[in-house]
Structure 1
Amino acid sequence: MIHHTMQQENSTQPYVHGRSEKEAERLLDQAGTLTTILHHDTYYPPGSRVLEAGCGVGAQTVILGNHSPGALITSVEISPDSIRKARDTIRPLEMNTINLINGDIFDLPFKNASFDHIFVCFVLEHLRDPLAALQKLRNLLQPGGTITVIEGDHGSTFFHPDSVDAQETIRCLVRLQAEGGGDACIGRRLYPLLKNAGFSDVHVTDRMVYVDASRPDLVEGFTKKTFIAMIEGAKEEALAKGMITETNWERGIIDLNRTTESDGTFSYTFFKATGLNIIQL
C-alpha cells in the first residue's frame, strides 16, 4: 500500500462524529452489519481502476477489496489519523491491490480520466459543496466510467414506540451537521446532485434497514452499535450549544434504546445512486 501525504484544503466541515477509537469501531460495526444491504450489487471487474473517495478508517475499503479482489483500488482520505487506521485495518488482510492516499478529494494528484469507476460512501454528507466534489470526481472518470454514491438520510428514521424526546436527539445531530455545512439528510438529494454534476443514466435505489426482535443481529449491529452510538456521540456538543436539555437528551436516548426491546421496531433508509460519465471533460 502506498501512503502519500498531500496538503489538505478546508473543503470539508469538521467530522461531526469525531475521530475517536470508539467512532472507528462504530464505523467498522456499521460496515459489517450493512454489507449485504448496501453492497450485494457492488462489484468491479478485475483490472479496473477504482477510486474510493473518502475511505475513512477503511471500513468500506475492506468490503470493496473482498467484493472485487482483482480491481485496482485507490482509496483517498483527508484525515491522516483515519488513513493510519485504515492501513492498520487492511494490512493484515494482505489486499495488495489497494493503495491508500492521504489527500483532499477537491485537489487530487490524478490526471483527468484516470479511473474506470468511482465509489463514494458516507462522504457527501460532510462536504460543504457536494456538487462541486462530484464535478471534480467526474473529471477523473474515463468516458463511459461509472460512479456509485451511498448516503443515509436521518429524516427517514422511524421507530416504535415513537418518542418526541428521541426524535429531538436525532434532530440535534442533524442541526450540528448543518451548522458545519454538511447535510445529514443528503440521501434524498442524490438524484439531482448527480444529474447536476453531469452524470447520465442516474439511478437511485432505496436500501431500508428494518429492525425488530426477529433480527437480533441488526438490533445489536445497527440500532445499538451504529445508530444509537452515533447519536450518543453528539451529546457533548449538543448540550454545549444549548440545543437540548440534559434531561431531555437522556430521555431521548432511553427511548431510542427502548426500540431495541422485544416489542420495539426501528427503520432507517440509505440511498444508493449510480451514474455514467458519457462525455469526456
Structure 2
Amino acid sequence: MLFSKIAMNQDPSEKKYIHGYTATEQERLREQALVIERPIYDFIDFSNVTNLLEIGSGVGAQTEILLRRFPHLQITGVEYEARQIKKAQENMEALGFGTEKVRFIQQDATALNLDKTFDGAFICWVLEHIADPVRVLKSMKPFLKSGAMVSITEVLNSSFYTYPCLPEVMDYWDIYNNYQISIGGDPHVGAKLGNLLHEAGYRNIDLRSGGFHLDSRTNQEKNTVFTYWKNLMGSGASSLIQDGLITDSQFKAMQKGMDSLRAMKDSVFYYRFIQATAYA
C-alpha cells in the first residue's frame, strides 16, 4: 500500500530530492559534512591528485573540506540543480576560493560533456539519489585519465540501529527509506558499490565499512551524532507529509524519540556507510 500511495501522488516528470533545497537544508548539508568529516576523510588520500572531478557537488559542503585537506587541488564540481550551484559559489567566495581553485558546472551526471580530463574523482552521498548509478560511473570514465583514482562514499541505511529501539524512530526511518526508493533512489546503495564499479569497467576496486558505534564511553560525540541524525531524518519530513505518508504528529514523535535517546547515558547509536576506492 505504501508504494501505490506514493506512485499516485508523484508527478513522473518531476525529479524529487528527498531532502529538498531550502536554505535550512543547504546549511544542514554543510553542518553534516563537518560532523562526519573524520570517519570519511581519514581514509581518503588525494595527495597525488591535482585535478579532481566532484560529482554531485551540491552546495560545496564536501568541496570545502577537500580544499582544506588538500589545498593543492583544483576541483571541478558537477551539479544538476542550479540553486545548489548558486549556494556553492557563494560558499566558496566566502571562504576565499576563486575560480582558479574551484568551478561548478551544471550538468546531468549521467550524460557528462566536460572540457578536460581529471586524475581523480570524488562522489559522496550522491549515488543514493540516482536511479541508475552505473550510468554516472560510465559517464565520467571517459573524462578520467588512465590510472585516475576514484573515491566513493555511500549510505547503507539498513545498518541504522539504536538502543533502546524506539518504534516511533524506526517506523519513521522505514517510511523515509521506502520513500527514497519510490522516487528512484537507493538508501542501501553502499553495499552494491563493488558490483557497480565492476560493471562500469573500473579496476583494483577496494571496499571498506566506516561509520559510528557510539555508547556511554563517548557521550559527547554520541550527543552530536544523535542531533545530526535527527536533523537528517527531519530533512525528509516535508516531502513525507506532503505525500501523505506521515502526519505532523508522527514527525514530532520521531524528533522526541531522538531527543530522548540522546539524553540517555546508556543509549547506543550505530550506523555504517561504505567507501570504495577504484581506478580508471
TM-score category, normalised to shorter length? 0.7 to 0.9
The one-character-per-residue Cα deviations of 1:129-163 (angstroms, maximum 9, x if unpaired) are: 10111111122111111111111121110111112
Find the aligned partners of 1:248 and 1:15 in 2 and give their Cα distance.
21
Number of residue pairs the alignment of both structures matches: 266
- Partner Cα distance (1:110, 1:248) in 2: 45
CA distance in 1, matches of 2:135, 2:203: 17
Cα offset for 1:244? 4.0
Label 1:252 to 1:94 Cα distance change in 2 as closer, same or farther (>3 A): closer
Residue 204 of structure 1 and its aligned partner are, at CA, apart by 0.9
Contact 1:211–1:266, Cα closer than 8 Å, also in 2? yes
Pairing 1:109–2:113 present: yes
**For residues 188 and 11 of structure 1, what CA distance do their matches in structure 2 show?**
29
Question: What amino acid sits opposite 2:253 in the alignment?
Answer: R
- The alignment partner of 2:232 has SS state of helix
TM-score for both structures, normalised by structure 2: 0.87
Percent of residue pairs bearing the same amino acid type: 26
Instruction: Compare the two structures and name the one with the higher helix fraction.
Output: 2
**Alignment correspondent of 2:77:** 75
Query: What is the identity, as a one-letter code, of the residue corresponding to 2:135?
Result: A
Distance 1:256 1:71, change over 3 A: same
**CA displacement at 1:271 relative to structure 2:** 1.0
Contact 1:135 1:197 in 2 (8 A): yes
> Structure 1: which 5+ residue stretches go unaligned?
1-9
CA distance in 1, matches of 2:49, 2:250: 53
Supply the distance in 2 between the matched residues of 1:71 and 1:237 (Cα, whole angstroms). 37
SS in 1 for 2:19: coil
* Match of residue 67 from structure 2: 65
**What is the aligned partner in structure 1 of residue 5 from structure 2?**
none
User: Normalization by structure 1: what TM-score?
Assistant: 0.87
Distance of 2:95 and 2:242 partners within structure 1: 41
C-alpha RMSD over aligned residues:
2.2
Q: Does 1:185 align with 2:214?
A: no
Offset at residue 192 of structure 1 (A) = 1.0
Q: How does 1:21-60 map to 2 (within 5 A)?
A: 21-45=23-47, 48-60=50-62
Q: 1:51 is matched by which residue type in structure 2?
A: L
- Structure 2, gaps ≥5 residues long: 1-11
Q: Which residue of 2 aligns with 1:155?
A: 158
- Name the structure 2 match of 1:99: 103
Distance 1:248 1:71, change over 3 A: closer
Determine if contact 1:13/1:128 at 8 Å carries over to the other structure: no
Instruction: Establish whether residue 145 from structure 1 lines up as the match of residue 148 from structure 2.
Output: yes
- Establish whether residue 264 from structure 1 lines up as the match of residue 267 from structure 2: yes
2:132 maps to amino acid: D
Which residue identity does 1:101 align to in structure 2? Answer: I
